A and B are shown apart, each in its own frame.
Chain A
């Protein structure tokens, strides 16, 4: 079976069509999995309550039921709203999410487009979502929305930098911008000459991993960085005026983005689809790769959601000073130390 997959080499348009179908299914599914497992089940365990019980076995189909419900809700755009911008804003956010999936490798060949500048591409398209958020905040013609949109913009630019600088440490170690290249570099690497398990960069770039996760948390506007959608201050910020399925698209995009960011964190720091002791050229990775990546993604998402359910919200000024006075200097120091060690050793 694995050999069969290895021999499968269709023309460009066929493979693109297959990829489009697969990604169109994968994106909502990942959002459902994260929503169901973490938002409903893990959150209710952590808060000593039951969570959804009724829809499907043990409440597992609750989100599908919610989706059907949202599909039946009236689509309302308020008076005075900039209707075209208002309507396209959720689509821009969803597009940014989908573009992130394009670069995520599930094994050496199971990737939509194996870009040479994968890391750079990922960082670039991830900041497209802020455009959608600003559009939503501005076009709603609502004061809360406008405040939420501005807060989101201020937050996303503040945390874009620590993220970019944290990833630089990995790029210095791997010497490549390709996400698959980084996986290979980790599988074949060594930590100060010790190469029993390769070099998952979480061991040498643990500072980078911490900064990256903190920045991901802020980019997803999840607690403790959820001021743009703080329900007790600005009643969900830029999402106030959205109803029905348009609101659901924001939700879908947030969780799908959480999944793909966890995937990128696993590729950059946990060795991606590779496991130690199995050669990266092995055909087994056609089946094993996605499974391994999925397991790592669930571990990273668990950390992300654990923090989300545990910590109280920052204040807006604390958020900015945390980024500018702690994370960015730390990331710069990390780059300096990494590059010096790379050249000296």
Chain B
């Protein structure tokens, strides 16, 4: 078997297991259908809101305080993606690769420091 189909098979297995993950849960829930009762009552389907009748819709507007963190996350996650291939080949790149990547890491650390000083990391 060629190396290529070996590679494809590894990810075919992953895909199969994704399906199994859904199937296992769905199968157990289907099994439960035999055992569980269905007795519809009006009050059962109200959402829980500390015991009183819910006010307004569940999808009301609320302040998302994390979106700045999400922006920072994207930046650093991309950094991590760049770092992984470098990390596996560090022995081959040696000093040259080390200095190149140190510059990269320092620039990004400065970015974090800048965000910190600009009080972006403060809870607003």
What is A's interface to B at a CB cutoff of 8 Å?
12, 16, 19-20, 23-24, 27, 71-81, 90-91, 94-99, 101-102, 112-116, 119-121, 138, 140-147, 150, 153-154, 157-158, 160-161, 164-165, 168, 171-172, 175-177, 235, 240-241, 244-246, 249, 316-317, 320-321, 324-325, 328-329, 332, 335-336, 339-340, 342-343
A146 touches B80 (CB 8 A): no
Can you sample 10 A-B contacts with CB below 8 Å? A12-B9, A71-B31, A78-B46, A79-B47, A98-B17, A113-B14, A116-B7, A164-B77, A249-B29, A325-B116
**A94 and B87 contact, Cβ closer than 8 Å, known pairs A76-B45, A141-B57:** no
B36 touches A94 (CB 8 A): no
Interface centre among B17, B50, B95, B109 (most CB of A within 10 A): B17
Q: Which among B7, B58, B123 is the interface contact of A140 at CB below 8 angstroms?
A: B58
Q: How far is the CA of A121 from the CA of B90 in the complex (A)?
A: 20
Q: Which among A138, A140, A164, A325 is the interface contact of B47 at CB below 8 angstroms?
A: A140
Q: Which among B13, B46, B60, B77 is the interface contact of A161 at CB below 8 angstroms?
A: B77
Known A80-B57, A249-B28; 11 more pairs at CB < 8 Å: A72-B36, A74-B36, A78-B46, A91-B21, A97-B21, A113-B14, A147-B62, A175-B90, A245-B32, A316-B123, A328-B112
- Which chain A residues lie closer than 8 Å to B35 at the CB level? 71-72
- Which chain A residues lie closer than 8 Å to B112 at the CB level? 324, 328-329
- Which chain A residues lie closer than 8 Å to B10 at the CB level? 113-116
**A154 and B25 contact, Cβ closer than 8 Å, known pairs A20-B17, A76-B45:** no
Nearest CB of chain B from residue A149's CB, rounded to whole Å? 11
- Which chain B residues lie closer than 8 Å to A112 at the CB level? 13, 17
Q: How far is the CA of A91 from the CA of B94 in the complex (A)?
A: 45
Interface residues of B in 57-106 (CB under 8 A from A): 57-60, 62, 64-66, 69-70, 72-73, 76-77, 80, 83-84, 87-91, 94-95, 98, 101-102, 105
Kindly list the 4 A-B residue pairs having the minimum CB-CB distance in the complex, ordered from nearest: A95-B21, A141-B58, A317-B123, A98-B21
Q: Which among A23, A78, A339 is the interface contact of B20 at CB below 8 angstroms?
A: A23
Q: How far is the CA of A153 from the CA of B20 in the complex (A)?
A: 25
B90 touches A246 (CB 8 A): no
B58 touches A98 (CB 8 A): no
Q: How far is the CA of A24 from the CA of B17 in the complex (A)?
A: 10
Chief secondary structure at chain A's binding surface = helix
Q: How far is the CA of A160 from the CA of B79 in the complex (A)?
A: 13
- Which chain A residues lie closer than 8 Å to B28 at the CB level? 245, 249
Q: How far is the CA of A77 from the CA of B84 in the complex (A)?
A: 43
Q: How far is the CA of A207 from the CA of B116 in the complex (A)?
A: 23
Residue of A nearest to B34 (CB): A71
**A335 and B105 contact, Cβ closer than 8 Å, known pairs A71-B31, A99-B14, A154-B66:** yes
Q: Which among B13, B66, B84 is the interface contact of A168 at CB below 8 angstroms?
A: B84
Residue of A nearest to B63 (CB): A150
Residue of B nearest to A67 (CB): B28
A320 touches B24 (CB 8 A): no
Residue of A nearest to B49 (CB): A143
Q: How far is the CA of A99 from the CA of B84 in the complex (A)?
A: 21
A76 touches B88 (CB 8 A): no
Q: How far is the CA of A166 from the CA of B121 in the complex (A)?
A: 21
Nearest CB of chain A from residue B74's CB, rounded to whole Å? 9
Contact with A along B4-45 (1 / 0, CB 8 A): 000101110110111011101110110111011111000011
Nearest CB of chain B from residue A249's CB, rounded to whole Å? 5
Q: Which among A102, A116, A339 is the interface contact of B14 at CB below 8 angstroms?
A: A102
A244 touches B36 (CB 8 A): yes
Q: How far is the CA of A97 from the CA of B73 in the complex (A)?
A: 23
Q: Which among B7, B11, B90 is the interface contact of A339 at CB below 8 angstroms?
A: B90
- Which chain A residues lie closer than 8 Å to B83 at the CB level? 165, 168, 335
Nearest CB of chain B from residue A325's CB, rounded to whole Å? 6
- Which chain B residues lie closer than 8 Å to A96 at the CB level? 21
Q: Which among B24, B47, B95, B105 is the interface contact of A94 at CB below 8 angstroms?
A: B24
Nearest CB of chain B from residue A116's CB, rounded to whole Å? 8
